[in-house]
Structure 1
Amino acid sequence: MAERIDGHTLLIGLMAYPIRHSMSPTMHNNAFAKLGLNYAYLAFEVTNETLPSAIESIRTLDMRGSNISMPNKQKVIPLLDKLDPAAKMVGAVNTIVNDDGVLTGYTTDGIGFMKALADEGLDIREHKMTLAGAGGAGTAIAVQAALDGVKEISIFNMHDATWANAERNVKLINEQTDCHATLHSLEDRDDFKREIQSSYIYTDSTGVGMKPLEDKTLVDDPSWFSSDQIVFDTVYAPRTTKLMKVARQAGLKHVYNGLGMMLEQGAAAFKLWTGEDMPVDYIHQILFSDDQDK
């Protein structure tokens, strides 16, 4: 890293809270080094309260851009100059590109989710998915899955600040895609169980399972799953979440954390910033070289 940084190095950030666990700096800095690109990628702990000044720093410091993660993916939108059409539809941003002070927001989370499944040889089109969460990542996953041909999506969410967004997601999917979406309350455990058991894939896009909730899971009973289902947890730190352990107890073969999604959404963002294709196979070896919990 020290050999690559000079007076011409361009900075790219990652703004979220918490974020010190992130694998994104490892991913992008290794990709920059592999391709000989003069960029550096750093993680910054940014809350909703500090987000406005952090976004302004992208312009002030002439940063090339930034990734955005929880809890800032929706709060960042009013602070940007433009939105990519997909980000506008999703209503969330995970990537910012700075072109001479003009900040454009993009979303690559949904693309990363579908590509991560495809990388495992899995096709969820024409199937039903139960999805927990309607935040930035959950919205991107739901919209992209619907656009790509998932037949039915049951979205579960708490009656909290994101409930209105969940309602918006269902309305948007039903009006603008061929997918049928329904909204359910996470408080209704019997309904949650029924929908999971009738689904080909269960996806958790909430923060349950990551610090400080690493010992928690929305599904703690292996009997909710059958061995032919797919379980996908967007959390990747720890590497094996509580949900994944429960799914494996049920005998599922297809159980995944969010590393693959993180890799593929990162590759899409990398292309936006640099114009170059990320060396995905090389980065995959680095990120997946250690299967131990992180």
Structure 2
Amino acid sequence: MGLRFIEKNELSINVDYDPTKEFACLLGSPVAHSISPDMHNYSFDKLGIDAKYYAVDVKPEQLKEVLNEIRNVDFLGANVTMPLKTEIIKYIDKLDISSELAGSVNTIVPEDGQLVGYTTDGAGFIDSLSEINVTVEGKDILILGAGGAATSVIVELALQKANSITIAKRFNKSLDKVKKFAANINDKTNCNTSVINIEDNDILKEAISTSHILINATPVGMTSDKSLIDKSYLRSNLVVCDLIYEPAMTKLLKDASDSGCRYINGKYMLLYQGARSFKLWTDLNMPIEEVKDKFFS
């Protein structure tokens, strides 16, 4: 049985629909720019999996109906992107511990007639650190921002036994929510998680001086040559990560390079979170090195 919303052309998809193959997809809006269909379809073909991955443009008000239809086809799994990562939680049946703590889902897996939500964003970030030979266990980590990308990363850092996590954000109307999130991480993982004011330069400088890893999870640097961190705060034994991958070298990363830091952008986080999703759907390993060479070089 095919999917009515695709067969009747009610939603935009990136390639022609083939109802004879297992269905996998990316749900979100906009999704036309995504590299996910290329990397997953290449991996399906390489491993002989009879499935096809689509980018499906879905608005929040369309999500419930789309999920109801997906439940009734030969469904392998889905990725979820903005603006649906939190909205989707009300329509699925179960959450794993990471997605429950983060309040965010980026992967759906059908299990025993139910749709189960996972988040692989944080695990993908930690996997990407292998590219620069960095581990997080026992480390003190400062993360800039407390949005969707940040929360998934924070959860996984705590689950992977980081010693402490400091969240730097503006003290605005979302402060109480973020403080409750940090308290929940403390309670559920025993990782010392706290919140500081990102606009207090003295406190920020002190936090950087006692951290092993600095992560930018804000959009600052994506569209302008700006950084939230004064270059003088950086030191050569600090690891600097920016979840932004376009541009590849934000001002923060340029400053990190100049300061002799190990550094990485968010490009490989995208690769590794996708590989984690692929494993959940197929129980097989994505051919990461080939995918990296073909789509991420």
Please give the range of the TM-score, normalised by the shorter of the 2 chains.
0.7 to 0.9
* Worse-superposed segment, 39-48 or 254-263: 39-48
SS at structure 2 position matched to 1:64:
strand
Q: Verify the 8 A CA contact 1:135 1:162 in the aligned structure 2.
A: no
Matched residues in 1 for 2:196 and 2:173: separation? 15
Does 183-192 or 45-54 show the bigger shift?
A: 45-54
Corresponding residue number in structure 2 for 1:12: 24
Are 2:80 and 1:43 equivalent residues in the alignment? no
Alignment of 1:1-294 (within 5 A): 6-59=18-71, 63-99=75-111, 102-159=114-171, 162-210=174-222, 214-215=223-224, 217-219=226-228, 221-252=230-261, 254-289=262-297
Letter in structure 2 aligned against 1:215: S
Residues 201 and 116 of structure 1: is their aligned pair in 2 closer, same or farther, counting only changes over 3 Å?
Answer: same
- Distance between the aligned counterparts of 1:26 and 1:208, measured in 2? 28
CA pair 131-101 structure 1, distance change in 2 beyond 3 A: same
Report sequence identity in percent: 37
Residues 44-73 of structure 1, C-alpha deviation per residue, up to 9 Å, x if partnerless?
A: 344545444444453366543321123332
Task: Show the counterpart of 1:292.
Answer: none
Deviations 1:9-35 (CA, angstroms, capped at 9, x unpaired): 223222334444433222212111211
Scaled by the length of structure 2, what TM-score is found? Answer: 0.83
Tell which structure's C-alpha radius of gyration is larger.
Answer: 2
Q: Which runs of 4+ in 1 moved over 6 A?
A: none
Structure-2 change in CA distance of 1:209 and 1:287 (3 Å) = farther
Name the CA distance, whole Å, in 2 between partners of 1:55 and 1:179: 35
Amino acid aligned to 2:185: I
Give the match for residue 9 of structure 2.
none
In structure 1, how many angstroms separate the alpha carbons of the residues matched to 2:275 and 2:134?
19
Does the residue aligned with 1:176 lie in a helix, a strand or coil?
helix
2:200, 2:22 → 1: CA distance? 49
The alpha-carbon deviation at position 159 of structure 1 amounts to 4.4
Q: Is the 1:134–1:162 Cα contact (8 Å) retained in structure 2?
A: no
Partners of 2:166 and 2:141 in 1: how far apart? 6
Aligned CA RMSD, in angstroms, stands at 2.7
Q: Which runs of 5+ in 1 are unaligned?
A: 290-294
TM-score by length of 1: 0.84
